[in-house]
Amino acid sequence: MYHFTALVTLLAIAFYFFTCINVSRSRTKTGIKVPAMSGHPDFERAFRIQMNTLEWMPIFLPALWLFAVYIGDAAAAGLGVVWIIGRVVYFIGYSKAAAKRGPGFAIQGIAAIALWAGAIGAVVLRLV
């Protein structure tokens, strides 16, 4: 069973849901009306945090699950937690200033690459 990976998946989705709520709150706070996508730097940063998280989900989630299946549940979940921590660091930094998004981006990027590389390595090893 993949209980730890399932829990990390649910936490990642919960974090993404949080970023959606944050965009809505930012719209209210800054007065940016739907369907506008720009107009205030605070809103634009909140929106980019949400969109960047969404952009990484199709990279992260399949790699997470394939890593769990081919390598192990606990190891996948551990790297998944690192990815979520990276997204939180990204959120905090980018919320303050675009220039502060780098450390969180690096953390989550390294975790995602580790999951993908581990999964593809394990799959290829089983093919040969």
pLDDT per residue over 47-70, tens digit each? 999 999 999 999 999 999 999 999
The token pair that represents 2 in the structure block: 């993949």
Could you identify the residue written with the tokens 């739907």?
Answer: 34
Could you identify the residue written with the tokens 């809103």?
Answer: 43
| Alpha helices for 3-128 (secondary structure H) | 3-30, 41-70, 73-96, 102-127
Q: Is 99 helix (H, G, I), strand (E, B) or coil?
A: helix
Q: What percent of the chain has pLDDT over 70?
A: 100
Over residues 75-99, the mean pLDDT reads 98
Q: What is the pLDDT of residue 16?
A: 98
Q: Class for domain 3-127, per CATH? A: mainly alpha
pLDDT per residue over 88-119, tens digit each? 999 999 999 999 999 999 999 999 999 999 99
Whether 124 and 85 have beta carbons less than 8 Å apart is answered as no
Q: Is 32 helix (H, G, I), strand (E, B) or coil?
A: coil
Mean pLDDT of the chain: 98
Q: What is the pLDDT of residue 31?
A: 97
Q: What is the pLDDT of residue 94?
A: 98
User: For the packed helices 3-30 and 41-70, what is the interaxial angle rounded to 10 degrees?
Assistant: 170
Q: Determine if the pTM surpasses 0.85.
A: yes
- Give the whole-angstrom CA distance, residue 74 versus residue 102: 27
Q: Is 2 helix (H, G, I), strand (E, B) or coil?
A: coil
